[in-house]
């Protein structure tokens, strides 16, 4: 089944393809001729996922899905949340984001956090949404070099190591995106 995934991020494409399995051919934005950045103007993850999926559907008429992910930290009232990519700077500067998070958390006893991924699917013109959550804690220092983004600072519940210290398979099997994509797979099977 051919379906457009509203991303050009190679990390994400690999993670999502691995969870979806062989029956699906994922097509990227570039491959359908969308080269501009899709504006993420929503105030919530749910809004941004919807905006991106509709953008692709309106331009291509193809079945598609879009995701939006945020790290929600309890002691920071849910920040960085919908602004996770641009927490420290305007760009996707992972190192600067991690430095800022450590700084904001330096005197916080409550280190509870969660990653949340929302996926909006448009199939045959019909829109549906699923989400995936992984709960955990923010480490006191970065550890590991796998994954991307906040992975070196996130210790999922039930583990002693960060996402960045896990294999891609281990992360995918419990991650927010892995869980959201598992829910997406269930939707696609219906
Ligand atoms: P996006 O909506 O998937 O582009 O994610 C927004 C931001 O959240 C990214 O720029 C990363 O900073 C962070 N993020 C998303 N997914 C992950 C992940 O699996 N691990 C660590 N950080 C992530």
Phi–psi pair at 128, nearest 5 degrees: -140, 155
Higher local confidence (pLDDT), 81 or 11: 81
Verify whether residue 68 is a known catalytic residue: yes
Per-residue pLDDT tens over the stretch 64-110:
999 999 999 999 999 999 999 999 998 789 999 999 999 999 999 99
Per-residue pLDDT tens over the stretch 133-160:
999 999 999 999 998 999 999 999 999 9
* Angle formed by the axes of helices 10-20 and 176-189, nearest 10°: 50
Instruction: Give dist(CA 122, CA 105) in Å, integer.
Output: 38
Q: Could you give all domains of the chain from N- to C-terminal order, each with its CATH number?
A: 2-189 (3.90.950.10)
Nearest CA to ligand 1 atom 14: 149
The pTM is what? 0.93
Q: Where on the phi/psi map is residue 143: left (φ > 0), alpha (ψ -120 to 50), or beta?
A: beta
Give the ligand 1 atom nearest the CA of 171: 19
Q: Is 80 in the pocket of ligand 1 (CB under 6 A)?
A: no
* Choice among 68, 93, 151, 157 that is catalytic: 68
Instruction: Give dist(CA 119, CA 131) in Å, integer.
Output: 6
Ligand 1, pocket-test mutation among 85, 119, 139, most atoms within 8 A of CB:
85
């Amino acid at each position: 089944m051919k379906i457009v995934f509203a991303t050009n991020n190679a990390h994400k494409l690999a993670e999502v393809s691995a969870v979806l399995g062989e029956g699906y051919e994922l097509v990227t934005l570039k491959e359908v001729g969308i080269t501009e950045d899709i504006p993420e103007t929503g105030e919530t993850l749910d809004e941004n996922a919807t905006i991106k999926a509709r953008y692709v559907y309106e331009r291509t008429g193809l079945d598609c899905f879009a995701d939006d992910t945020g790290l929600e930290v309890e002691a920071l009232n849910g920040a960085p949340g919908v602004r996770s990519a641009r927490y420290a700077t305007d760009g996707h500067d992972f190192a600067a984001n991690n430095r800022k998070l450590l700084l904001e958390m330096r005197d916080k006893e409550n280190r509870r956090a969660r990653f949340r991924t929302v996926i909006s699917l448009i199939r045959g013109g019909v829109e549906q949404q699923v989400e995936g959550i992984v709960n955990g804690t923010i480490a006191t220092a970065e550890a590991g070099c796998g994954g991307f983004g906040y992975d070196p600072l996130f210790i999922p519940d039930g583990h002693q190591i960060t996402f960045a210290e896990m294999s891609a398979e281990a992360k995918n099997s419990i991650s927010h995106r892995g869980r959201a994509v598992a829910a997406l797979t269930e939707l696609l099977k219906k």
